[in-house]
Amino acid sequence: MSYFCVSLEKFSFMNFDAIDKKLLKLLQANSKQTNKELSNKLNLSVTAVYERIKKLEKEGVISNYVALIQKEKANKNFLAFCHIKLVQHTQDYVIKFEREVANLEEVMECYHISGDYDYLLKVIVSDMEAFREFMVNKLTSINHIGSTHSMFVINEVKHTTAIMI
Amino acid sequence: MSYFCVSLEKFSFMNFDAIDKKLLKLLQANSKQTNKELSNKLNLSVTAVYERIKKLEKEGVISNYVALIQKEKANKNFLAFCHIKLVQHTQDYVIKFEREVANLEEVMECYHISGDYDYLLKVIVSDMEAFREFMVNKLTSINHIGSTHSMFVINEVKHTTAIMI
DNA sequence: GATGAAACGATTACTCA
DNA sequence: TGAGTAATCGTTTCATC
């Protein structure tokens, strides 16, 4: 198992051998596989698999293991993206906005982006009526929001959590 | 444990009791907790936890368990959103575009959306140069793309996979 | 990186309310 | 029907090579 780190001031990343890459791919596809199953797929001993995983966890490469749930079964069938422009961009406003938006459970993702708008939000709710509620009572009740522009998801073509290394 | 399904033509969703909601929240936060740990947090027996989880898996509420990896450690520090407009919207073009885009490993998410553009893509690569490469050699080599508009992520304010029920 | 033993958790059958 | 107890089985973990 050969690792080395490349450090360039602000960030550092690992270099992975072929086995680690395959292991990460397998775990990102299904983390409930036993080390025995993984050892078969990787042609390794159970212990070797175990140690590689522990190392990847310790290095912070694997940050967490989670259950993914089907949004249709959770009555969250409505997905929208909201562009947001702030009125002003003082430190205060920005920090306050970011904190409040991050606390909204309907907001799955929030990014500060380049371009015409300041932020892009991914919002998940049950239906259009719930989205209207969210906009009126939660999002636009945050102060300092200048304008918003919403796009509704008609169809989810692809959605993965797996990063290919 | 009381479940019932609400069916409205095209979709159906479960109604969850308070314990299931908490259980789903816990598993979405960390799926490596043992049933014993979960049983403590939920004031239930290990078996009761086990059976609730199995039921949620069988119903398809829990669709998968995955490892999440830190993109910084994987040298994938550059995140962008791409708007895409197709030249034409014939069935053929749409199906072909969607299939080809879904096959690109840089594309984490792809949505057919309302508004000025047809699609919104979330793209993850190592840096701006890799993004340029991706645009020139992969994305725009897909036929039928009319125009694109890219937004670069300056800062990730929030990113979660957990849906709150 | 492999082997094998000890520890631990998941799973199932059984029991009780 | 729904939850708890206890035995079994398989996996994780770790010391040793």
| pLDDT for residue A143 | 85
% of residues, chain B, pLDDT over 70: 92
Compute the CA torsion angle B22, B26, B27, B31 (nearest 10 deg): -160
Residue whose entry in the numeric block shows the structure tokens 């994305």: B139
Average pLDDT estimate for A63-69: 96
pLDDT at B151 over 70: yes
Q: Please report the residues numbered 93 through 152 in chain A whose beta carbons come closer than 8 angstroms to any beta carbon of chain B.
A: 98, 101-102, 105, 107-115, 119-120, 124, 151-152
| pLDDT for residue B6 | 42
- Mean of per-residue pLDDT scores for chain A: 91
Nearest 5°: CA angle at B136, between A26 and A7? 55
pLDDT at B136 over 60: yes
Question: How many Cβ contacts (< 8 angstroms) between chains A and B?
Answer: 212
Average pLDDT estimate for A65-81: 96
| pLDDT for residue A12 | 62
Per residue in B18-59, pLDDT (tens digit) is: 999 999 999 999 999 999 999 999 999 999 999 999 999 999
Report if CB A123 to strand D is under 7 Å: no
A23 contact residues in B (CB cutoff 8 A): none
CA distance, residue B111 to nearest chain A CA (Å) = 5
| Residue among B113, B97, B122 nearest A78 (CA) | B113
pLDDT at A4 over 70: no
Q: In a mutagenesis test of the B interface, which of A163, A164, A165 is the best target, namely the one with the most B β-carbons within 10 Å? A: A163
Question: In the structure, how far is the CA atom of residue A155 from the C1' atom of nucleotide D14, in angstroms?
Answer: 49
Q: In a mutagenesis test of the A interface, which of B12, B59, B70 is the best target, namely the one with the most A β-carbons within 10 Å? A: B70
pLDDT at B2 over 50: no
| Residue A53 phi, psi (nearest 5) | -65, -45
A65 contact B CB<8A: yes
Whole-model pTM over 0.85: yes
Per residue in B99-126, pLDDT (tens digit) is: 999 999 999 999 999 999 999 999 999 9
| Model confidence band, residue A11 (pLDDT cutoffs 50, 70, 90) | low
CA distance, residue B134 to nearest chain A CA (Å) = 14
Q: Provide long-range contacts, Cβ within 8 A and 24+ apart, for A6-13.
A: A11/B72, A11/B77, A12/B73, A13/B72, A13/B73, A13/B74, A13/B75
Helix pair B35-42, B18-29: axis angle to 10 deg: 140
Report if CB A45 to strand C is under 7 Å: yes
A70 contact B CB<8A: yes
Average pLDDT estimate for A48-72: 95
pLDDT at B7 over 60: no
pLDDT at A46 over 80: yes
Per residue in A106-161, pLDDT (tens digit) is: 999 999 999 999 999 999 999 999 999 999 999 999 988 999 999 999 999 999 99
